[in-house]
Chain A
Amino acid sequence: MDTIYIERAVKDHPQTVRIVQRYPDARKILIDRYTAVFNVNTQNFRLQKQNPALILAEKHDTKVLTAPPDYNIGGKHNYYFSHMMNCIYDCRYCFLQGMYNSANYVVFVNYQDFFDAITETTNRHTEPSWYFSGYDCDSLALEPVTLFMDACLNYFSTHAKAHLEIRTKSTQIRSLLKRDPIDNCVIAYSLTPDPIARAVEHKTPSVQKRIEALKSLSEAGWKIGLRFDPLLNAEAFKTTYQTLFDTVFDQLDTDTIHSVSTGPFRLPKPFFKKLVKLYPEEPLLADKFTQQGSLISYPVDDENDQMAWCEEQLLQHIDPDRFFPCV
């Protein structure tokens, strides 16, 4: 990280001070609001990804948002939150490339405000609420720098009515293994067949490393989740995914798996168009796509076939009550 932008209002915030200390050689630039750097619309996400800057900011507006209707793993009240925008990984299908003008990382340092918002949201319901982290970023990838998840788990460990899903591809699990697992948290890994992951999930840990992380976490007593989302089309789709399922279930004790979900590859049309403009040479984006309402997806029949086939395969390994197709 050779440039850190810091909002003046949080320059003395303990998280800011701690993070900045990690980068003694970085240039530090004080700014009023992160939007002055992040939202500039003539930036090129693809070029910026080569050398992203870090922006330390304060989250002012809504900190907890309602999750889309089918986004759940068994809970009735589902929400998501993001302490960070953007990701150190570079998956070619990632919607963040379509959503943001900038590839710089924004970290919101007012962690406590997120926890206060979660308390307030949880108190609105009598049943437990679920909170999905890692919607606008990868939950753990920058954890050694942010320590957000550590703070988050401290919070959730004392708020049993609030349940947390940490979604990640990162193998930065040392801090998780150091602490006692908590019952209201699931660590969920996104998994893609190895050859596809190598081609399109740039800079991510290998699928095998992710499986090993899942294994370590489950052995340490953490609830684990498997997320086959998005399902990506490929020549020999079934063989490719079959190999992935076999590899995963050969190595994990299925009794320790809290939930398994699948999801199709869908993007809002403007995001998809932006991705194509950024990466016209990308095979993944050169496939056959159709428009369903405001979304771009694989043709409906293909998508349904892929979802149904994966469901059939997965249900050979796990009970239906642990399977959640997110459509």
Chain B
Amino acid sequence: MRLVARLTAIAVDRVLRTAPTTWQPVMVSLGSVPVSVGISRYPGQALRGIIPVMLPFIVIVAALPAEATPLKTHWNLSPTGDTAYRSWHNDDMLLVESGIGKCNAAAATASALTGIINAGIAAKRIICINHGIGGGLYDLGTMVTAHAINDDATGQTWYPSLTFKPSGATATVVCVDAPASDYTADTAFDMESSGFYSAARRFVGAEFIHCFKTISDNPDHDITTINKARVIDLVQGSLASLTQSIDRLVALHATAFDTADIEAMVNTIKENMHLTRTHGHQLRRLLERHQALHGALPTTATLLDLKRASVLISTLTQQLDGSVPRY
């Protein structure tokens, strides 16, 4: 994940540029779940005063151990110790082994996303992926991206947002309750996609939920011949396509507006001044307006000099209401 590492560095640098010199970047892990990168305002006290930095965090849901193993090795992931679902992580990623079927996929996805969001990773940071094997009229080992996910039992269909440019072919992924082999054009069968997708969309933005299926069976390679070794081989063979698609999603994610520096400033003010929830919202928008109209944030010292929240809000409002966009 060189791209993620690079983006991490850029975002941390961006926050640190406007921060006091004592602040330091930190790698944070809360319980069994990594919180990726943050900025510590109290060096040496790792869990105090951490400012989360808006970076993509990738969640991958795979059904079988043979589907998860190559990913675990590729990204050098360590076990999280989670007992409900086997899972592995590094600073940018969580891999969850859900078990077979859409119910397992839905439960594992919801559980993983709830866990990491509760641990402080904002939902808007998450890229959520289902990767696994599927059958279809494609060459063995081809990775297809779902442009539609159809639940065979209920008939419900979802259309993942193809704002990013997927690597390779796209297909309708039909999620079946039992293995199927009545292959048709532009279609792949799997057993997890609808459960995964319906659960993930409750947490994550539509642009960042995707299903990738590596073809494991087709009319020339019967579904009954699939075994563990073949699955590992196929998943390993599709890593280049999967990585390319993830990189493109990360690049798309990087274009979202990042308010980390504004959040950092609001947090600092909060620590030094009593701010109600409403004051917090007002201050956030005033800082955004300041940045938009003056090209930079005010200094923290100027704001803290105002001593009281009501004075701070009214002074900033007055100042900004007197500013007009310059073109």
Question: Which chain A residues have a beta carbon within 8 Å of chain B's beta carbons?
Answer: 2-3, 5, 27, 29, 31-32, 36-37, 40, 42-44, 46-48, 50-51, 53, 193, 195-196, 198-199, 233-235, 237, 240, 276, 279-288
Contacts and interface: CB of A to CB of B under 8 A. Distances in A.
A284 B207 CA distance: 27
B325 A283 contact: yes
Contacts of B291: 281
Contacts of B180: none
Contact of A286 (B162, B204, B288, B327): B288
B205 A44 contact: yes
Contacts of B285: 276, 280
Contacts of A284: 325
B161 interface: yes
Interface of B: 147-148, 157, 159, 161-165, 170, 172, 201, 204-207, 252, 255-257, 259, 285, 288-289, 291-293, 320-321, 324-327
B240 to A, nearest CB: 21
Q: Which of B147, B148, B170, B325 gathers the greatest number of chain A CB atoms within 10 Å?
A: B325
A280 B159 contact: no
B325 A47 contact: no
Contact of A279 (B163, B205, B252, B257): B257
Given A5-B159, A27-B147, A285-B292, A47 B324 contact: no
A29 B147 contact: yes
Contact of A280 (B259, B320, B321, B325): B259
A42 B205 contact: yes
A42 B206 contact: yes
Most B-side CB within 10 Å, residue of A29, A32, A47: A47
Contacts of A48: 161, 163, 207
Contacts of A282: 292
A198 B327 contact: yes
Contacts of A233: 324-325
Residue among A199, A235, A276, A286 with the most chain B CB within 10 A? A286
8 contacts: A2-B162, A43-B206, A51-B163, A195-B327, A198-B327, A240-B327, A286-B289, A288-B320
Contacts of A51: 162-165
A310 B257 CA distance: 35
A19 to B, nearest CB: 18
A276 B161 CA distance: 23
Nearest to A194: B327
Contact of A281 (B157, B164, B252, B257): B257
Given A2-B165, A287-B325, A42 B293 contact: no
Contacts of A32: 157
Contact of A288 (B164, B255, B259, B321): B321
A285 B321 CA distance: 12
A283 B293 contact: yes
Contacts of B170: 27
A282 B147 CA distance: 33
Contact of A29 (B159, B205, B259, B324): B159
A281 B159 contact: no
A44 B170 CA distance: 21
A47 B207 contact: yes
A44 B124 CA distance: 11
Contacts of B204: 42
Given A279-B257, A281-B291, A47 B163 contact: yes
